Amino acid sequence: MFQYKELQNIINNEIEQLNFNIEPFELYKPIEYVLSGSGKRLRPVLTLIACNLFSDEISKAIKPAIGLEVFHNFTLLHDDIMDKADIRRNKPTVHKKWNDNTAILSGDAMMIKAYEFFFSLNPEILAEVLPVFNKTALQVCEGQQYDMEFETRLNVTVEEYLQMITLKTAVLLASSLKIGAIIGGANEKDANLLYDFGINLGLAFQLQDDYLDVYGDVKTFGKQIGGDIVSNKKTFMLISAIEKAKDENKKRLFELINSDNFENAKKIQEVTDIYNQLNIPFILKEKLDYYHKSAINNLNQISVNNDKINILSELSKELIIREK
């Protein structure tokens, strides 16, 4: 079995070999810019791990894995235009470094390019894998749409939120695993169990992200603590608090959300106090535990050796319980 670091290196090496030094440069340079640097490469690594569960030969999964990484980075590129985000991974975003038109068009080219990486598969596998990828890609757009709509809505339910993060985040992790499994020769049941594992993993991961934004350690989390609170982002924490708050707490929470007159530190402190009073961190951790257990439960039903499954249970522990 390959370990995470090895697989990440395989992906990084493969990405480094891609040649985007072609004309028109203004179209391809931003793609190279977005793909460079050393991210976690979580999605393509999951593809390779899933393939490796069923086959010692992972080489035929490498290009499709790159396709999933390219697609993921395309979504970040276009999301950053829509969210007017200036910084991504400590670098200016494409629409900041270049301009909106370049970001739109390079993003389009990047999405099209993502498909190309699947064409190395043999026709039968291609015809099986591509509809999985395509459905997921459309769902990611749906997730982004809901996320944007939630910004201007105060009555988002926890259920709606979970559906949104399923679409925006979880389905791509799930598909990355399923596609790797199919390429590795998994049967349908195992491929679907890996898909379900990915959904549960993605949900738990996002909930932990919501938690760490409030209760994380700035040194390990890497982002400013309380950023979601300052921007009124509809996270699991805020949505649950709006649902549960009563009387004085409810009144104060809406004052904090609706006014621009609070200093950031004060707003973060007060909202966190309300979260604590309403027991929101506990409620979140219960939910997160539920998804984590479901994920492990999915893994345990897969018809491969426990030793092999171990890499995924360890990884999910690391991703979900992470402090950063």
Q: Tell me the number of residues near a copy of itself by CB under 8 A.
A: 37
User: Residue 257 Cβ, how far from a copy of itself at the closest point, in Å?
Assistant: 22
**Stretch touching a copy of itself by CB under 8 A, among 6-14, 32-40, 112-120, 191-199:** 112-120
Give the CA angle between residues 236, 208, 296 to the nearest 5°: 115
Q: How far is CA 100 from CA 7, 85, 95, 149, 150, in A?
A: 34, 12, 5, 21, 24
User: What's the DSSP call for residue 202?
Assistant: H
How many other β-carbons are positioned within 10 Å of the β-carbon of residue 155?
9
Kindly tell me which residue out of 16, 124, 260, 307 binds a copy of itself, with binding defined by CB under 8 A: 124
Min dist CB 245 to a copy of itself, Å, is 27
Tokens of 179: 């596609």
What residues between 42 and 81 interact with a copy of itself by CB under 8 A?
A: 78, 81
- What are the angstrom distances between the C-alpha of 222 and each of 97, 153, 216? 23, 29, 9
Instruction: Pick the piece of the chain touching a copy of itself (CB under 8 A) from 13-21, 34-42, 139-147, 179-187.
Output: 139-147
Q: Counting contacts by CB under 8 A, is residue 142 touching a copy of itself?
A: yes
Closer to a copy of itself by CB, 115 or 215: give it.
115
321 vs 279: CA distance, rounded Å: 19
- Name residues contacting a copy of itself, limited to 86-105 (CB under 8 A): 100-101, 104-105
The answer to the question of residue 130 lying near a copy of itself (CB under 8 A) is yes
Which of 3, 13, 38, 134 forms a contact with a copy of itself (CB under 8 A)? 134
CB 198 within 8 A of CB 173: yes
Which range touches a copy of itself (CB under 8 A), out of 44-52, 118-126, 242-250, 275-283?
A: 118-126
Residues 119, 265, 282, 321: which binds a copy of itself (CB under 8 A)? 119
DSSP classification of residue 20: -
- Alpha helices, H only, the chain: 4-17, 25-35, 42-54, 59-82, 94-97, 100-116, 123-151, 158-165, 171-184, 188-215, 218-221, 227-230, 236-244, 247-258, 264-277, 280-300, 306-321
> For a copy of itself, which residue of 16, 17, 90, 123 counts as binding (CB under 8 A)?
123
CA-CA distance, 291 to 300, in Å (whole number)?
14
Residue type, 84: K
Tokens found for residue 242: 């709006």
Over the window 148 to 187, marking each residue x when it contacts a copy of itself by CB under 8 A and - when it does not, the resulting string is xx--------------------------------------
Pick the piece of the chain touching a copy of itself (CB under 8 A) from 20-28, 240-248, 254-262, 299-307. Answer: 20-28
Report the nearest approach of a copy of itself to the CB of residue 126 (Å). Answer: 5
Q: Is residue 234 a contact residue for a copy of itself (CB under 8 A)?
A: no
**127 touching a copy of itself, by CB under 8 A:** yes
| Nearest residue to 148 via CA among 80, 224, 70, 90 | 80
227: its two tokens: 């950023």
List contacts with a copy of itself (CB under 8 A).
23-24, 26-27, 78, 81-82, 100-101, 104-105, 107-109, 111-113, 115-116, 119, 122-124, 126-127, 130-131, 134, 137-138, 141-142, 144-146, 148-149
